[in-house]
């Protein structure tokens, strides 16, 4: 009976705290607009559909042979857009009785193959195995010789030929216009990550098969060529009208990091005292003559020097044959690529013009340079052993993308922007039902490999690295990374190599001594890398005693909590009214169990905010009364006591709690109401993202206009401070906040925004007075939304004739703002027409998204266009991709029915895409149902406004320093030793209730 009373009382305490006890019944809050290209859930279905998770995956190469060196000769024919060549691979057996050599080769014609040892032919047969991209060479006489202590070298010589590809993979063709009015010119370039070096020459196309490479490129005399290393010599070729460029030997490296360019380019160079090339930027001649490469030339060298200092490994000392070339490529699917010594970028991501490149593209150039330069160490010098640990490459590159840039140019505000752009986006992607973990063994096929190139590998990887940096301290963490690089240089790495290096450094420096002998970096890191998802910490504060009970549960964006819980080893920081120190981000506590109690060190009403500067990768929810204290703080004059990053954290957490059902919208908007006083970038970036998601759910309903009015009320004070006109003395972040807010205000039809946009556009049209470069995104769009065909035609002609690629991309991004059907159809024609030499393949989806989403009514215009041009649209964009842009914007059941009926009628034409297309409309139906379910809640706040909150107990009194105690008598689940699953079935409601009894009674 006593236990029953305790349980009932505990349940009452839980209910009073405002925390849901169990996950909500199944539903989804992930809809079509978040599954488009570059959306947070773009790869959700792809990952879930990956079939094989077998460490003996049939797509993986056997390790029975390995390469030592390649000699590659490529002949690139720019007249008929083809290439041919030969490769000699020096290889050796790694064990006895190897009767077969298996390497990669795909989409090429093998014209001859020979295997030799000491120049003596070895009899063999060979065949291509296209389903696995294999070239299998079977020995017909005897196995490969093997010696344990001395490699026995064989030479595999293969000749091959193929067309230059058109899909931006392998060795492919690009077109460009040197000047806007010139005829198109052709060039050739490569993109080999992750599995397409095999499209260029036969090779061991996996990261762990590292070797050295000697490259010779035969190219037309009027063209130049570039490779990863310095050019040793140029000779007259045996082919009339061609030259042979002979390059020096590469460092030991992976195949995917090779690169080749053949183009009529010019360069800006820096040489060493002996005349050797050190650093250069290359691009089409007109761009270089216009000095568009200067920013990348100078800023890139600053970044390279700083990264050399941070790693304590000077870039040019790694290998005497290395240099650094930054190359602007017309068509590049990935945006940029870290090929060792020959880094390639989309032109708009490398070329900068002071008068025509806005701040958005300038900072993008800066941080992409940082990202790719960081890869020279994290990815090239030390490479992930296989793509299932891609975060060892990309997580670090994304981390340095922000912080390396910030160290060199803090004006760009990258340390601030890391929070909304990386931490928040990663938390969202990582909150699906089944997110992949950072370490994801068992991948094999190219399709499976692509599932790792997600915001989890990049953004979450970077966020967890940042969390570890604050756990260990910056200098201690840096020393651990230096140790990792030294120990694994010219090799591949597994996560344990990183973890052990950091652990050794932490022990040597005493970085983790305060956390006790049972804490180590290896176990900590495994809980964040070997399992998907992240925790939400439910913090219940007893303000009479100062006791804080922390319950960790795995967060789920669809249902609040996952159905099974997972424990993490979580670094804890918090600030209070008694100690409002948000600068010391060294964790004061480490929690491992589902339930932990910490003494706050003070009694009485006192706000507490966990996760200083959002250094930890987790969300935080509080009991209702503690939220009230936070509301009072944020609405009051002392709100800036709370760090800007934590205000952004609160905004992001609250929007996602309401979305997931952990908090109602009335409560959420009461907390968020402090935004009407907010002036800083990070909270507003989080608020814009959260508001846009909610607004999209209610588009076309009466609630939409009420939500718009709320946002305008919140944003008007900060916009009055910013104004719609830039000032000469304003900071980059001030300008960048306007860049983010003004488009929303114009879209919501705020008069001041519309008038400012119209005035600036008319000055451009009539007087040729350029729109301020950082205002063009919203000025151009607004002009088209309220304009006529002539306004579209004005910007279309500007797009065609403009010499700066960044401005051309800016225009592509807003041309869809036109409501004119004739203009929109012209835009669409130039997207889907094959080889139109106007809109680039890499920009197809950007342009198409603009056409569909630039105006609400555009959706049906574009849908009709697709119906009339299905074949060409499918060829340009892919059927599912194109129609997903339509289905994600269906706002009514009538529109959904019409779409699905059309899909049914055209099932034969849609073929294998039919089900995905149909399901896109189902997702929009789910979105409408979700909005209907929360509509009363949202409207309740919109009707009643902010609630009045006030404390009910005395001001806080400091008693002791915070202390962690054990919650008795509960036996809590602990995190199992990994690599076994770190997941444990969550405590039953009964056990949770008992766990909270002590806190409620005290």
Q: Which residues are marked as active site?
A: 372
Q: Is 272 exposed, middle or buried (0-12, 13-18, 19+ CB in 10 A)?
A: exposed
State the helix-helix crossing angle for 474-488 and 461-472, rounded to 10 degrees. Answer: 120
Give residues with Cβ within 8 angstroms of 971, minimum separation 6: none
Contact predicate 878/886, CB 8 Å? no
In whole angstroms, what is the distance from residue 800 CA to residue 814 CA? 14
Q: What is the pairing mode between strands 619-622 and 535-542?
A: parallel
Q: At what angle do helices 858-868 and 879-887 cross, to 10 degrees?
A: 150
3-state secondary structure of 56: coil
Helix%, strand%, coil% for the chain, nearest 5: 45, 20, 35
H-helix segments, 615-731: 624-635, 644-660, 665-672, 681-697, 702-722
Q: In sequence order, what are the residues at sequence separation of 6 or more whose Cβ sits closer than 8 angstroms to the Cβ of residue 414?
A: 363, 367, 401, 402, 403, 405, 406
Q: Are strands 608-610 and 120-121 parallel, antiparallel or unpaired?
A: unpaired
Closest residue by Cα to residue 390 from 425, 430, 440, 434 = 440
Q: Select from 347, 354, 303 the least CA-distant residue to 328.
A: 347
Q: Are 124 and 103 in contact (CB under 8 A)?
A: no
Q: Using omega within 30 degrees of 0 as the cis cutoff, is the peptide bond preceding 194 cis?
A: yes
List the alpha helices (DSSP H) in 104-245: none
The answer for residues whose C-beta is within 8 angstroms of residue 894's C-beta and 6 or more apart is none
Check if the beta carbon of residue 793 is closer than 8 Å to that of residue 787. no
CB-CB contact of 335 with 349 (8 Å)? yes
- Length of the chain counted residue by residue: 1002
Rounded CA separation 510/506 (Å): 6
Q: Name the residue among 624, 537, 538, 549 with its Cα closest to residue 999.
A: 549
23's tokens: 């996950």
Candidates 260, 247, 268; CA nearest to 189 is 260
* Residue 558 near residue 433, CB atoms below 8 Å: yes
How far apart are alpha carbons 811 and 807 in whole angstroms? 6
Give Rg (Cα) of the chain.
30
Q: Are the C-beta atoms of 543 and 1001 separated by less than 8 Å?
A: no
Reported as type and span, the H/E element at residue 160 is: strand 154-163
Q: Which two tokens stand for residue 758?
A: 């119209």
Tokens of 855: 């105006």
Please give the structure tokens belonging to residue 526: 């495994």
Tokens of 359: 């701040």
Region at 634 (left for phi over 0; alpha for psi -120 to 50; beta for the rest): alpha
Residue 165 contacts residue 172 (beta carbons within 8 Å): yes
Sheet holding 277-283, edge to edge: 266-271, 277-283, 324-329, 342-346, 336-337
Nearest to 699 by CA among 498, 935, 345, 455: 935
Q: Residue 664 phi/psi, 5° resolution?
A: -80, 160
The structure tokens 């090429």 sit at 108
Quickly tell me which residue has 């920013």 as its tokens: 295
């Amino acid at each position: 009976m006593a236990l029953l009373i305790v349980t009932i009382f505990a349940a009452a305490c839980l209910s009073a705290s405002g925390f849901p006890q169990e996950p909500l019944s199944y539903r989804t809050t992930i809809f079509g607009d978040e599954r488009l290209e570059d959306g947070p859930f773009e790869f959700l279905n792809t990952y879930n559909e990956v079939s094989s998770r077998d460490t003996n995956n049939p797509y993986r190469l056997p390790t029975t042979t390995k390469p030592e060196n390649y000699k590659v000769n490529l002949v690139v024919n720019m007249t008929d857009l083809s290439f041919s060549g030969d490769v000699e691979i020096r290889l050796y057996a790694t064990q006895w009785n190897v009767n077969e050599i298996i390497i990669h080769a795909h989409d090429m014609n093998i014209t001859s193959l020979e295997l030799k040892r000491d120049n003596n032919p070895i009899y063999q047969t060979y065949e291509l195995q296209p389903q696995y991209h294999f070239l299998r060479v079977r020995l017909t006489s005897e196995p490969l010789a093997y010696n344990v202590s001395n490699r026995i070298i064989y030479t595999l010589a293969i000749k091959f030929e193929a067309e230059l590809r058109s899909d931006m993979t392998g060795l492919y063709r690009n077109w460009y216009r040197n000047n806007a009015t010139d005829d198109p010119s052709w060039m050739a370039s490569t993109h080999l990550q992750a599995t397409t070096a095999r499209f260029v020459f036969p090779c061991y196309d996996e990261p762990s098969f590292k070797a050295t490479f000697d490259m010779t490129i035969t190219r037309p005399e009027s063209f130049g060529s570039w490779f990863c290393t310095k050019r040793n010599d140029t000779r007259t070729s045996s082919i009339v009208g061609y030259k042979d460029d002979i390059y020096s030997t590469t460092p030991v490296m992976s195949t995917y990091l090779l690169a080749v360019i053949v183009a009529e380019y010019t360069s800006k160079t820096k040489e060493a005292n002996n005349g050797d090339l050190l650093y250069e930027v290359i691009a089409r001649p007109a761009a270089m003559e216009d000095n568009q490469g200067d920013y990348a030339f100078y800023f890139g060298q600053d970044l390279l020097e700083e990264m050399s200092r941070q790693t304590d490994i000077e870039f040019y000392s790694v290998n005497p044959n290395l240099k650094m070339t930054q190359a602007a490529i017309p068509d590049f699917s990935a945006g940029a690529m870290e090929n060792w010594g020959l880094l390639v970028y989309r032109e708009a991501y490398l070329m900068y013009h002071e008068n025509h490149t806005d701040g958005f593209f300038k900072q993008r150039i800066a941080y992409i340079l940082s990202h790719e330069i960081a890869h020279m160490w994290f990815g090239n010098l030390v490479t992930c052993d296989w793509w299932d640990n891609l975060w060892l490459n990309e997580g670090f590159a994304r981390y340095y993308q922000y912080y390396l840039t910030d160290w060199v140019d803090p004006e760009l505000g990258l340390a601030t922007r890391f929070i909304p752009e990386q931490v928040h986006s990663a938390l969202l992607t990582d909150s699906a039902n089944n997110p992949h973990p950072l370490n994801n063994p068992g991948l094999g096929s190219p399709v499976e490999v692509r599932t790792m190139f997600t915001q989890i590998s990049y953004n979450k990887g970077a966020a967890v690295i940042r969390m570890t940096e604050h756990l260990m301290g910056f200098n201690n963490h840096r020393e651990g990374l230096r140790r990792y690089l030294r120990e694994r240089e010219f090799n591949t790495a597994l996560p344990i190599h990183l973890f052990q290096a950091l652990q050794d450094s932490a022990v040597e420096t005493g970085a983790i001594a305060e956390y006790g002998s049972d804490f180590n970096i290896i176990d900590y890191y495994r809980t964040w890398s070997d399992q998907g998802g992240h925790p939400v910490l439910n913090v219940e504060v007893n303000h009479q005693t100062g006791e804080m009970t922390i319950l960790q549960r795995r967060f789920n964006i669809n249902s609040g909590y996952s159905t099974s819980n997972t424990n993490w080893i979580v670094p804890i920081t918090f600030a209070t009214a008694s100690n409002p120190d948000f600068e010391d981000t060294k964790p004061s506590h480490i929690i491992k169990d589902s339930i932990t109690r910490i003494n706050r060190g003070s009694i009485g009403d006192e706000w507490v905010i966990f996760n200083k500067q959002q250094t930890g990768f987790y969300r935080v929810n509080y009991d209702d009364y503690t939220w009230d204290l936070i509301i009072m703080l944020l609405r009051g004059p002392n709100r800036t006591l709370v760090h800007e990053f934590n205000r952004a954290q609160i905004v992001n957490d609250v929007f996602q709690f309401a979305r997931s059902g952990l908090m109602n919208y009335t409560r959420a908007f009461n907390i968020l109401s402090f935004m009407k006083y907010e002036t800083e970038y990070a909270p507003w970036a989080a608020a814009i993202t959260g508001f846009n998601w909610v607004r999209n759910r209610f588009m076309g309903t009466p609630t939409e206009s009420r939500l718009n009015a709320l946002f305008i009320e919140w944003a008007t004070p900060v916009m009055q401070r910013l104004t719609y006109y830039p000032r000469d003395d304003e900071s980059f972040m001030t300008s960048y906040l306007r860049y983010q807010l003004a488009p929303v205000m114009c879209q919501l039809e705020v008069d001041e925004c519309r008038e400012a946009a119209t005035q600036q556009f008319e000055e451009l049209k009539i007087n040729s007075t350029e729109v301020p470069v950082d205002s063009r995104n919203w000025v151009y769009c607004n002009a088209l939304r309220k304009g006529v065909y002539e306004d579209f035609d004005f910007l279309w002609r500007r797009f065609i004739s403009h010499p700066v690629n960044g401005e051309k991309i800016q225009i592509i991004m807003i041309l869809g703002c036109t409501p004119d059907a004739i203009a929109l159809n012209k835009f669409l024609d130039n997207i889907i027409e094959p080889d139109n030499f106007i809109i680039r393949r890499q920009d197809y989806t950007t342009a198409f998204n603009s056409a569909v989403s630039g105006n609400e009514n555009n959706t049906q215009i574009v849908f009709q266009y697709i119906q009339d041009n299905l074949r060409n649209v499918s060829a340009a964009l892919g059927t599912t991709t194109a129609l997903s842009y339509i289905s994600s914007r269906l706002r009514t059941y009538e529109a959904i029915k019409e779409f699905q009926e059309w899909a049914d009628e055209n099932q034969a034409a849609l073929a294998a895409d039919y089900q995905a297309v149909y399901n896109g409309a189902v997702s929009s139906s789910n979105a409408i149902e979700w909005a209907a379910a929360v509509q009363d809640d949202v409207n309740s706040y919109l009707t009643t406004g902010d609630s009045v909150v006030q404390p009910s107990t005395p001001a806080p009194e400091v008693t002791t320093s915070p202390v962690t105690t054990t919650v008795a008598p509960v036996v809590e689940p602990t995190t199992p030793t990994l690599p076994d699953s770190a997941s444990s079935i969550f405590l039953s409601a009964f056990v949770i209730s008992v766990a909270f009894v002590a806190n409620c009674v005290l």
